[in-house]
Chains A and B, each alone.
Chain A
Amino acid sequence: MTSAATPTTARAPAGLSPARRFQNTVMGGLILLATLIVVAPLILIFFYLLKEGIGAMNLNFFTRVPAPEGETGGGLLNAIAGSVEMLLMASVIGVLVGVAGGIFLSEYPRHPLMPTIRMLSDVLAGIPAIVMGLVAYGLIVLKFGFSGFAGALALGFLMIPIVVRTSEEVLKLVPLSVREAGLALGLPKWLVTLRIVLPAAAGGIITGVMLALARVAGEAAPLLFTAFGNPGVNLDPRGPMSALPLEIYRGATSAYDENQRLAKAGALLLITLIFVTSLLARRFSRRR
């Protein structure tokens, strides 16, 4: 998870023929252009949201629920609270199952089920978010109705393959000699794995969890028919819950300016959170 090598300015070494020097300049320019094209959408989106949304990001935004249609002064407290709570619940699911899967793939490479599990985990990573929502819908909503827990379950499922993959990779980075030291000490393998190998990989695993969180925090589709949304603040996971992506969707498709501004502020908050999480994850992986 380290950043790529710092790009050096494409400067031609002395003593090159003018033709090659020209070619070097042109190619360097093209690469720079391509890079700008890649980064431009992110910058444009961020500044657009900053311009449009920052005005709505006042105290009300963080302390009130959306005002009734056509009125002003509302906020997104319901969505912020719902997103935070569902992401916390999703993390529990994603971490427990994901890290267990990562341990299995990394520590038991000769187990007969290993190739199957690895393949299933890769397939899971490719399943569209909305399908995960349907799974949670079938498992929970059909029986118990819309709930924050059902939404968290869908998000947790989405986190699992990401956490499996990253934790497998960082566990494999722990040197074999460390495992051997534990085993030679007369410790059983499960103890070596849980108390010696896992702590050594903890930094990388936390990075993986944060990246997975950043990835699912912006999902609206799996929440549409699981958490459903809620105009008020609801902290009870058994009831319908709002979330930032849901409010963004509703606000952006609303006819009222006030709701649209709220949606843009919500999007700004979400992007900022994802940006900060990614930065923290990087910081974490670099510190190790």
Chain B
Amino acid sequence: MTQTPPVILSAQNVDIFYGDNRAVKNVSLDFRRGSVNALIGPSGCGKTTFLRAINRMHDFTPGARVAGKILLDGQDIYDPGVDPVSMRRRVGMVFQKPNPFPTMSVFDNVVAGLKLTGVRDKAQLMQVAERSLKGAALWEEVRERLNTPATGLSGGQQQRLCIARALAVDPEILLMDEPTSALDPASTAKIEDLMSELKKVTTIVIVTHNMHQAARVSDTTSFFLVGDMVEHGVTDQIFTSPRDERTEAYVSGRFG
């Protein structure tokens, strides 16, 4: 990289509460365009909570509240003037378990974000479907069965279908919540390989329990522990010479 890409997402003093419980404490982070950023830490450390704050999924959790600022391209996504629905089109999400829409075909799943909001142009939808499925490294496997039910695909294929579905609306950021934890090693490897391609078109924030995965795929790593972000830095540095002894203890497998 000759020149540092601009910051696309900036969290500033973010606190997240569930009722009175402060699940994430004063987290400040910058993610740069076109990077893969891993959030690691033991269960219950707040990494998924933080991830879900980035596309306002907490809006649907009773009692959840976010304080501080999360700037997407300089604009606070929690600003009262921001429409959460259109904001979520800019921040895609892939979940822990593959969750294709059960009644839809492979094709309809991929273009759901466009088709359900009124895009009718067949040629355009086909073009988007092909581009997204190629982007998710699934095209060759499903090109002959675009009209078959999505639930007929294997788990790994379904997860890549979910990635394709998220890519179809051209998100600026793609959030991934332990995207390979429900998959076998071969499917996991495919998705990890995919990430280096995906960061050419989007920015990835991935929550993972698997430290080897974080080390393999990410450019930056943030280590969370009981709601605090202990350390954030370039992945190599976090794994080889962490500044905080708690980070070192975790990445060397002494707890967690």
Contacts and interface: CB of A to CB of B under 8 A. Distances in A.
A185 interface: yes
Contacts of A134: none
A233 interface: no
A191 B85 CA distance: 11
Interface in B184-219: none
Contact of A178 (B55, B62, B99): B99
Interface in B157-200: 162, 165-166, 169, 175
Contact of A186 (B85, B102, B175): B85
A184 B57 contact: yes
Interface in B108-134: 112-113, 116-117
The binding surface of chain A is classed by DSSP as helix
B97 A177 contact: yes
Contact of B101 (A183, A184, A200): A200
A7 interface: no
Interface string B7-28: 0000000000000000000000
B113 to A, nearest CB: 4
A67 B85 CA distance: 65
B57 A185 contact: no
Interface string A92-131: 0000000000000000001000000000000000000000
Contacts of A184: 55, 57, 88, 92-93, 95, 166, 175
B113 A185 contact: yes
Interface centre among B60, B97, B162 (most CB of A within 10 A): B60
Interface string A158-177: 00000000000000001101
A236 to B, nearest CB: 39
Interface centre among A175, A184, A188, A202 (most CB of B within 10 A): A184
Given A186-B113, A187-B116, A196 B60 contact: no
A177 to B, nearest CB: 4
A187 B118 CA distance: 11
A195 interface: yes
Contact of A200 (B85, B86, B93, B103): B103
A109 B89 CA distance: 26
B102 A191 contact: no
Given A188-B85, A191-B117, A195-B116, A183 B57 contact: yes
A185 B103 contact: no
Contacts of A185: 88-89, 92, 112-113, 165-166, 169
Contacts of B86: 186
Interface of B: 55, 57, 60, 62, 85-90, 92-93, 95, 97, 99-103, 112-113, 116-117, 162, 165-166, 169, 175
Q: Shortest 8 CB-CB distances between A and B: which pairs?
A: A186-B89, A184-B93, A177-B99, A186-B88, A199-B103, A185-B113, A181-B99, A200-B102
